[in-house]
Structure 1
């Protein structure tokens, strides 16, 4: 499929591209069900990782062939993605027969379709520290032909700091969902760094939030199958079957580490983003770790 790089534009105060706004009415009128589970993240913050965890927790025992025959982007559809004749996330989600439906989004909190709030759906939000998030996003944009051309690293970092990347400001995104958590009880806010540090413990927290009780054997299988190396090799999770990515530039699943930012940031860039973090994160109790 021939694809051309899109242009970024302002959409209701958030930098977006057309494939996430063209199906706007359909997405906003999406009919959530009370047992739907949403995985919400800023892009490149562990979305696929948590998607695979949930899919295995719910269907790993009852439908083991599902994980070896259906790619993750069909098992956990991307709600707002809209590329006609190629991938329509809302339509794919509507057709799902699984219970629960597990759906992912990169929307900032203010863009979430109202039915998810009305149905009191459970939402898992995964946040990743800004330094590692921007590095991962940069390499992702290099190889993703439906994202704008990233340019060089210094200019990309500057645009990220200004919120001029797809889905807008990382600061607004993570803070917006954090603030929503204070008034909406059905959000489980988790951190990529915690998931790296102790995957088993974070899986336990997810199970508790979702009120599910898999056996120790089942949880052990989940931990084995969601290891980074296992998922990177797995065609059903590594996105190698999706034709919009150029793996010659970079793999979809690149490193999956904390502190890779140290391999990219100059001293000046490190100091600048530190000052920006201090300014942007002043009026919030939200805190991140950039090392573990």
Structure 2
């Protein structure tokens, strides 16, 4: 299936020349993409001092800002084990048996709150200039985080038309959940990164067949902590083209529960009803932990 938006196109994966050992990080926006990229970088290089900005080491292949030929050339030139970012669901990607696909999930309410704040941090005039589209005019409507979250829960749209909507999030995760027992599919939960970063990094290293000397683990886990990443926002935020007003603001909170905090009991029950219509119970049990 092909997925397209104003700034990305999954067709850029067509005919991509995979290598043995490639890692593809498939997430919805604000679900822990950069965190997973950082963990992969630390496991691959085994040094907190990365050889280049994270967005150069792990480029976003679907992104239309950089021409496809340039993106392919950049990835072809990489000598290290490659780890590539995408926001495309697995059913829109070529599933190569030589690659491992990481799908990172986050509680949808927390994702939505983070999206709200990220949207306010974007330089939309800069984005329009890079994409060659008209510069936005007028004033964007202002809503409180609570109002935006309620609207996000209630939005009824085809998943492929808005992958960062609630239907889109559940579409992405439902497909990955159905493939979770495939040998080259790994599901990661944002809450597990929050609660047991060391354990999750070790689990991922095992799944990727990466050996890390025991004495290196404390340094690598510390470098992957949210606090450490926020301190190094200038080199770790996914902003190679300068579309963020503040890179530090990209690393806003790094914990769970922000969405639930905004809702009344009745509103939360309404969310649960919406979610139950979009995903199977076993996925929701795992996702809503």
* In 2, Cα distance between equivalents of 1:165 and 1:245: 21
Runs (5+) with no aligned partner, structure 1: 1-10
Calculate the TM-score normalised by the size of structure 2.
0.80
What does residue 134 of structure 1 align with?
112
* In 1, Cα distance between equivalents of 2:19 and 2:26: 16
* In 2, Cα distance between equivalents of 1:90 and 1:45: 25
What pairs with 1:241-260 in structure 2 (closer than 5 Å)? 242-247=241-246, 251-260=249-258
Q: Deviations over 1:227-249 (max 9, x none)?
A: 1111011021134664101229x
Runs (5+) with no aligned partner, structure 2: 129-135
CA pair 264-78 structure 1, distance change in 2 beyond 3 A: same
Verify the 8 A CA contact 2:46 2:212 in the aligned structure 1: no
Would you say how many aligned residue pairs link Structure 1 and Structure 2?
A: 267
Verify the 8 A CA contact 1:42 1:106 in the aligned structure 2: yes
What does residue 80 of structure 1 align with?
62
Verify the 8 A CA contact 1:126 1:189 in the aligned structure 2: yes
State yes or no: 1:110 paired with 2:96.
Answer: no
What does residue 46 of structure 1 align with?
32
Give the counterpart of 1:222 among 212, 215, 220. Answer: 220
* In 2, Cα distance between equivalents of 1:32 and 1:237: 25
What pairs with 1:1-292 in structure 2 (closer than 5 Å)? 16-21=4-9, 25-61=11-47, 65=49, 67=50, 70-84=52-66, 89-98=71-80, 100-112=81-93, 114=94, 117-144=95-122, 145=124, 146=127, 152=143, 153=148, 154-159=150-155, 163=159, 165-167=162-164, 169-182=168-181, 184-234=182-232, 235-239=234-238, 242-247=241-246, 251-282=249-280, 284-285=282-283, 287-288=285-286, 290=288
Calculate the TM-score normalised by the size of structure 1.
0.79
* In 2, Cα distance between equivalents of 1:196 and 1:87: 37
Verify the 8 A CA contact 1:125 1:190 in the aligned structure 2: yes
Verify the 8 A CA contact 2:18 2:98 in the aligned structure 1: no
Which 10-residue stretch deviates more, 261-270 or 194-203?
A: 261-270
Q: Deviations over 1:13-56 (max 9, x none)?
A: x6x423212xx544322111121111111111111111111111
CA pair 256-285 structure 1, distance change in 2 beyond 3 A: closer
* In 1, Cα distance between equivalents of 2:238 and 2:20: 29
